Chain A
Amino acid sequence: MSSLLSVRDLKVGFGPRPESNEVVHGVSFDLAPGETLAIVGESGSGKSVTSMAVNRLIDFGGGRITSGSAAFTRADGSTIDLARAEERQLEGIRGREIGMIFQEPMTSLNPVLSIGTQIEEVFRVHFAMSGTEAKTAAREALERVRIPDAARRLTYAPHQLSGGMLQRVMIAIALASNPRLLIADEPTTALDVTIQAQIMGLLSEMKRETGTGMIFITHDIGLVAGFADRVMVMQQGEVVEQGMLDAVLDNPQHDYTKHLLNAVPHFSDGRSVRHDMQRDADSRRVLEVEDLTVRFPVRAGLLKRQTGNVHAVEGVGFDLMQGETLGIVGESGSGKSTTARAILDLVRPTKGRIRAEGLAGAVSDRPVQMVFQNPNASLNPRLTVKQLLAEPLIAVRRRIDAEAVSRMVMLLDRVGLPADSLARYPHEFSGGQRQRLCIARALMLNPSILVLDEAVSALDVSVQAKVLDLLIDLQNEFGLAYLFVTHDMAVVERIAHRIAVVYAGQIVEIGPTSEVLANPRHDYTRQLIRAVPSLDRRHSDYGIDLTEIPSLVRPVGWEPEAARYESAGADHLVRAGA
């Protein structure tokens, strides 16, 4: 087998003494032409460093290859060891024979240069094209990634395009010269699920068309199930397992691979839902939301006259029982977070009714508490844990007495943090621990309802699983009701008893989790489920669906028709006619 890339015992370190600060400890793998290798791992596994060592971009990030080789077969048949190549040689290879796309499309394009200039550059530098010739080539490259109206879009600045569009531009740049190898470093992580599906569809089509070899880096083993030929699993700078896709997925050898496959939430079409809570006549309703509507004024012109409204949330209604979890699922801009914030009174609803009921032993008249997405941002870095946990009490004018401190200690213990945490600062904890801290803080006032806004989305996948388990335990122990807002279908499947799917500010489908996920009725729900990467649907390809989310801006005074819902089974409602 002639190999495209053959990496042997690659070691990479950082800083002035890279040997003593090694982050990749001897990685070896082979890639045949046209083959796709998925490198799977969590943050700190060394997967990105490995991939950037291949085209030697780590040189610019303070990294250095300390030993090992990376033999790359060039288009002319010669072989070059990339680990030892001169910068001059590398310049001829990068962008010409090895293309790369990155995680954040929003920041990966130069903000002051037009899209066209940035694509043309590849043709100018590597193919000595100029003027019209380069422009035409750039337009064709853009058309190849299915960007409509390519000629006009070439003149756009990056900030004028959406994240999904920009990632397609990045693909156009990376594939402009038909490279023999494409390195994709978590190219869909920053994008919505349906956009992710678009990009994955596009990448697999391009792969078929151009026959390029690919290294695809991801933290989500489910994402590559339908995509990769071979899988390499990394943990803390070491390769723990590698092999053909089916072999690794069906018969994992290493414990960590098994853990990634089994302990981490994977979407399974509604088969792994909870069955620990059934609504019945005795169920106590703790939250009722009716006709919740949130509109933000759009102002324009000299006098800042209101020209319209963003209809962020429109006529949303649901209820929540004690001990129950309602998952609110949607993509960015769907209004799911605004709904959560309106219930907490962090944004003022335009209309609607919210009624929340406290528990018997509640400490305050605020029965709803919230946990935010990013635990780093939601803890003031300059306060100690004790001061942080005291905040809710101070807000309701409670004294911080021995009783309060004992509650702090109890909750810390309950969320799995050591009792001596009280005097420490947030930065002394890991991401998962900080989110536990946020949960403890939210429980200080003994609320009846916890609103969890993407509460596990910022965490590593294996930490996610543990925090979800903790949340389920706490729910059962304290009889909490959860409003779990998320974009992640795999997560919501594990924690929600019921699901509400929101799209463009409205609920399009609501019902028991197993029903909605296994038997989706609304078109959007189906589209969403189809877009979710899944271990089950291995080898099924992503189609290319280029639908964009409609604008939510409407003229002043515009009132939408009240949504009508049809019953699709017990407690299962589907929006009619849209």
Chain B
Amino acid sequence: MSLLRDLLRHPSGRIGLIITVLFLLAAVAGKAGLSPFDPLAQDRLARLQAPSASHLFGTDMFGRDVLSRLMVGVAQSFIVSFFSVAVATLAGTVLGLTAAWYGGLWDGIVMRLMDVLLAFPAILLALLIIAIMGPSGWTSILAIAIVYTPIFTRVVRGPALSLKRRDFVDAARSFGSSRRYIMSRHLALNLVAPLTVQITLALAWALITEAGLSFLGLGTQPPQASLGLMLADARNLMEMAPWLLLVPAVALSFAVLGFNLLGDALRDLLDPKTRRALA
């Protein structure tokens, strides 16, 4: 809880936290059906209405309420981001930790495999995976998770290797501590800080990637709402109905900004020294 207090004292941490919490509330409300309108309900009589008291962010070409769609869209984007980063973190931590600890052949296999994955530009790798599995929200989760796994593997392996050489690990070995104990107590515990930072920043990237995939029509599929889809829909109507473009554009950028600010603040607070190692 002292971390929360520090975050609130940190200028960009405070702003990041406020933004992120606001978006989370909107997303939860959207998922819980608390949006002002049914996000899927079309109303032919209320097409392309400018923002007003009843439709705060206006309506789209099918007369759907933009605010309501934004709420479920944010929820959809967050869900994909959270799940994909969670999978990538888990896979990357296990791979990175074991590669660092066991070294040798296993390290070689893992790292060459990661090299192969890293040889693809991120979004192309995601596109390849989607090409195979067909577009959907779940495919996006898998694709983004696979794209970020090598990054987490490296983020864990590097510090784990240097932790392994630290005196306190030698000290533990001199008592005869078991490998499992050393990995969990000395390596994993000290990796929490750099991982927290990396997870926050990865969430920001994942939001961007998810929106990009949906924008291309390869992520979340209509009639479901997502930020990328809303932007794609707005393309041809931007002059007639600028709110259709500006609302999701600002929302997406702010959601990303929130995580970025939070990540920066966490980096300042948790690990001033690992700054370079993670860059």
Interface residues in chain A, defined as those with a beta carbon under 8 Å from any beta carbon in chain B = 341, 344-346, 364, 366, 369-370, 372-374, 377-383, 391-392, 394-396, 438, 441, 445
B181 touches A394 (CB 8 A): yes
B170 touches A372 (CB 8 A): yes
Q: Name the B residues within 8 Å of A391 (CB-CB).
A: 171-172, 175, 177, 185
A380-B189, A382-B189 given; A370·B177 CB < 8 A = no
Closest to B181 in A: A394
A382-B190, A383-B185, A395-B181 given; A377·B168 CB < 8 A = yes
A383-B185, A394-B181 given; A378·B170 CB < 8 A = yes
Return A367 CB to nearest CB of chain B, in Å: 12
B176 touches A370 (CB 8 A): no
B178 touches A346 (CB 8 A): no
In the bound complex, how far is the Cα of B171 from the Cα of A395, in angstroms? 11
In the complex, whether B54 has a CB less than 8 A from a CB of chain A is no
Q: Can you list 17 residue pairs at the A/B interface with Cβ under 8 Å?
A: A344-B174, A346-B173, A346-B174, A366-B176, A370-B171, A377-B167, A377-B168, A378-B167, A380-B186, A380-B190, A381-B190, A382-B189, A383-B185, A391-B172, A392-B175, A438-B171, A445-B175
In the bound complex, how far is the Cα of B170 from the Cα of A377, in angstroms? 10
B190 touches A369 (CB 8 A): no
Closest to A441 in B: B171
In the complex, whether B166 has a CB less than 8 A from a CB of chain A is yes
Pick the most buried of B167, B171, B172, B192: most chain A CB atoms within 10 A of its CB. B171
Q: Name the B residues within 8 Å of A383 (CB-CB).
A: 185, 189
Shortest Cβ-Cβ A-B pairs, 9 listed:
A378-B167, A377-B167, A395-B175, A392-B175, A395-B177, A380-B168, A372-B167, A395-B176, A344-B174
A346 touches B170 (CB 8 A): yes
In the bound complex, how far is the Cα of B177 from the Cα of A379, in angstroms? 14
In the bound complex, how far is the Cα of B170 from the Cα of A438, in angstroms? 13
Q: Name the B residues within 8 Å of A344 (CB-CB).
A: 173-174
A395 touches B170 (CB 8 A): no
Task: Convert B146-175 into 0s and 1s, putting 1 for each residue whose CB lies closer than 8 angstroms to a CB of A.
Answer: 000000000000000000001110111111
Q: Name the B residues within 8 Å of A441 (CB-CB).
A: 171
A379-B168, A380-B168 given; A370·B174 CB < 8 A = yes
Return B148 CB to nearest CB of chain A, in Å: 26
In the bound complex, how far is the Cα of B188 from the Cα of A117, in angstroms? 45
Q: Name the A residues within 8 Å of B192 (CB-CB).
A: 382
Interface residues in chain B, defined as those with a beta carbon under 8 Å from any beta carbon in chain A = 166-168, 170-178, 181, 185-186, 189-190, 192
Q: Name the A residues within 8 Å of B170 (CB-CB).
A: 341, 346, 370, 372, 378
Closest to B187 in A: A380
- Interface of chain B: mostly helix, strand, loop or mixed: helix
In the bound complex, how far is the Cα of B192 from the Cα of A395, in angstroms? 23
In the bound complex, how far is the Cα of B167 from the Cα of A381, in angstroms? 12
Q: Name the A residues within 8 Å of B178 (CB-CB).
A: 395
Closest to A375 in B: B167
Closest to B176 in A: A395
Return B3 CB to nearest CB of chain A, in Å: 13
Q: Name the A residues within 8 Å of B166 (CB-CB).
A: 377-378
Q: Name the B residues within 8 Å of A380 (CB-CB).
A: 168, 185-186, 189-190
Q: Name the B residues within 8 Å of A395 (CB-CB).
A: 172, 175-178, 181
B168 touches A369 (CB 8 A): no
Return A577 CB to nearest CB of chain B, in Å: 36
In the bound complex, how far is the Cα of B175 from the Cα of A156, in angstroms? 44
Return A375 CB to nearest CB of chain B, in Å: 9
In the bound complex, how far is the Cα of B193 from the Cα of A144, in angstroms? 50
In the bound complex, how far is the Cα of B175 from the Cα of A366, in angstroms? 8
Q: Name the B residues within 8 Å of A372 (CB-CB).
A: 167, 170-171
In the bound complex, how far is the Cα of B155 from the Cα of A360, in angstroms? 47
In the bound complex, how far is the Cα of B181 from the Cα of A396, in angstroms? 12
In the bound complex, how far is the Cα of B178 from the Cα of A341, in angstroms? 18
Known: A380-B190, A381-B190, A394-B177. 17 other contacts (CB 8 A): A344-B174, A346-B173, A364-B176, A366-B175, A374-B167, A377-B167, A378-B167, A378-B168, A379-B168, A380-B185, A380-B186, A382-B192, A383-B185, A391-B172, A394-B181, A395-B172, A395-B181
Q: Name the A residues within 8 Å of B175 (CB-CB).
A: 366, 369, 391-392, 395-396, 445
Return A426 CB to nearest CB of chain B, in Å: 10
In the bound complex, how far is the Cα of B171 from the Cα of A345, in angstroms? 11
Q: Name the A residues within 8 Å of B186 (CB-CB).
A: 380
Return A540 CB to nearest CB of chain B, in Å: 38
Q: Name the A residues within 8 Å of B173 (CB-CB).
A: 344-346
Q: Name the A residues within 8 Å of B185 (CB-CB).
A: 380, 383, 391
In the bound complex, how far is the Cα of B181 from the Cα of A373, in angstroms? 23
Closest to B186 in A: A380
Return B88 CB to nearest CB of chain A, in Å: 24
A394-B181, A395-B181 given; A378·B176 CB < 8 A = no
Q: Name the A residues within 8 Å of B172 (CB-CB).
A: 391, 395
Return B124 CB to nearest CB of chain A, in Å: 32
Return B196 CB to nearest CB of chain A, in Å: 13
Closest to A366 in B: B176
In the bound complex, how far is the Cα of B181 from the Cα of A380, in angstroms? 13
Return A574 CB to nearest CB of chain B, in Å: 32
Return A447 CB to nearest CB of chain B, in Å: 10
In the bound complex, how far is the Cα of B174 from the Cα of A382, in angstroms? 19
In the bound complex, how far is the Cα of B172 from the Cα of A366, in angstroms? 13
Return B48 CB to nearest CB of chain A, in Å: 55
Pick the most buried of B167, B186, B189: most chain A CB atoms within 10 A of its CB. B167
B176 touches A396 (CB 8 A): yes
In the bound complex, how far is the Cα of B171 from the Cα of A381, in angstroms? 13
Return A386 CB to nearest CB of chain B, in Å: 13
In the bound complex, how far is the Cα of B174 from the Cα of A438, in angstroms? 13
B171 touches A378 (CB 8 A): yes
Q: Name the B residues within 8 Å of A377 (CB-CB).
A: 166-168
In the bound complex, how far is the Cα of B190 from the Cα of A454, in angstroms? 26
Return A339 CB to nearest CB of chain B, in Å: 14
Pick the most buried of A369, A380, A395: most chain B CB atoms within 10 A of its CB. A380
Q: Name the B residues within 8 Å of A374 (CB-CB).
A: 167
Q: Name the B residues within 8 Å of A378 (CB-CB).
A: 166-168, 170-171
In the bound complex, how far is the Cα of B168 from the Cα of A370, in angstroms? 11
Return A201 CB to nearest CB of chain B, in Å: 34
In the bound complex, how far is the Cα of B170 from the Cα of A266, in angstroms? 31
Closest to B193 in A: A382
Return B83 CB to nearest CB of chain A, in Å: 28
Q: Name the B residues within 8 Å of A381 (CB-CB).
A: 190
In the bound complex, how far is the Cα of B189 from the Cα of A445, in angstroms? 25
Q: Name the B residues within 8 Å of A345 (CB-CB).
A: 173-174
